[in-house]
Amino acid sequence: MNRINQKLQEDKKILSIYFSAGYPNLNDTVQIIQDLEKNGIDMIEIGLPFSDPLADGPTIQASSTQALHNGMTTQILFDQLENIRESVKIPLIIMGYFNPILQYGVEEFCKKCAAIGIDGLIIPDLPVDVYAEQYKETFEKYGIINVFLITPQTSDERIEFIDSVSNGFIYMVSSASVTGSQSGFGNTEESYFERIANMNLKSPQVIGFGISNKETFNQATKFAKGAIIGSAFIKHLSEKGTGNIAEFVKAIR
């Protein structure tokens, strides 16, 4: 069974962390992954940097730009991750925009992920209908889980379609925003979380965008299986460096 599905079956709320590969320094990728696992993180999204990240706010944009400036490429990331499964057991997901994956070749990319032990992909600008028509078979051939986003504006009908195409979890975007722009959840977000929880979807939901501390993590996981922290962790890396990951995780749970 795919490590993502295994993790989702565990009787606990999942804390997942996103960071941009190659940030703050080109060769920090593996150390950050190992430290996150050591500190009890359940799942990691490794950001494949892109020059034009449309869905990201200033924090992730800046880390992505810095990573590219440091020399990160798709091939270098794969080289860095080559032996990652010798030391890391938790599910690993690559999150990246579609163009770099398209240039690498979608099938080649999936094949490489499978060989390394990457369990899933999140590609925000690959629409679910294009995936279902053109790429689903390829992903399944290599056992790669594809994760789709939903937002407060997504219709019930479309959520049900996304649920039917999903084979891992659904990434619930907490509010209408790019990454890193929220500070705390109010009634609007909570009622959206509750509405989705009550849809009884087959796929578990993990909430992202706007999770930055213990409070927002607890609010999100009251309704969902887990939550993803991105910008807040990258801010922590920028301010405190890569040596204080334990401190960051302890403050969340």
Partner 1 sequence: MSFHVNEKGYYGEFGGAYIPEMLYPNVEELRQNYLKITADPSFQAEFDALLKDYVGRPTPLYFAERLSKKYNTKIYLKREDLCHTGAHKVNNTIGQILLAKRLGKNRIIAETGAGQHGVATATVCALMGLQCIVYMGEIDIKRQAPNVARMKMLGAEVRPALSGSKTLKDATNEAIRDWINNPVDTYYIIGSVVGPHPYPDMVARFQSVISAEIKTQLLEKEGRENPDHVIACVGGGSNAAGAFYHFLDEKDVNIIAVEAAGLGVDSGESAATSALGKIGIIHGSKTLLMQTPDGQITEPYSISAGLDYPGVGPMHAHLFASGRAEFISITDDEAMQFGLQLSKTEGIIPAIESAHAFAVLEQKKFGPDEIVVINLSGRGDKDLNTYIDYFKL
Could you tell me which stretch among 31-39, 73-81, 193-201, 239-247 binds partner 1 (CB under 8 A)? 73-81
**Exactly one of 56, 86, 125, 239 is catalytic; which is it?**
56
Q: If residue 147 lies in a helix (H) or strand (E), which one and from where to where? A: strand 145-150
- The closest alpha carbon to 12, from 36, 37, 42, belongs to 42
In angstroms, the CA 66 to CA 60 distance is 10
How far is residue 166's CA from residue 161's CA, in Å, rounded to a whole number? 9
Is 213 a residue that touches partner 1 (CB under 8 A)? no
In one-letter notation, the amino acid at residue 85 is R
Contact pattern from residue 97 through residue 126 relative to partner 1, giving x for each residue in contact according to CB under 8 A and a dash for the rest: xxxxxxxx-------------------xxx
The answer to whether 107 is a known catalytic residue is: no
Contacts of 235 (CB under 8 A, 6+ apart): 59
158 binds partner 1 (CB under 8 A): yes
* Dist CA 190 CA 95 (whole Å): 26
* Nearer Cβ to partner 1 (135/248): 135
Q: Annotated catalytic, 190?
A: no
Q: Which is nearer to partner 1, 131 or 248 (CB)?
A: 131
Among the listed ranges 12-20, 57-65, 82-90, 186-194, the one in contact with partner 1 (CB under 8 A) is 57-65
Is 36 near partner 1 (CB under 8 A)? no
- Of the candidates 115, 29, 123, which has an alpha carbon nearest to the alpha carbon of residue 76? 29
* Cβ pair 203, 37 in contact under 8 A: no
Site residues (vs partner 1, CB under 8 A): 50-55, 57-58, 61, 65, 68, 73-75, 97-104, 124-128, 130, 148-151, 153-155, 158, 173, 176-178, 181
The residues assigned a catalytic role are 45, 56
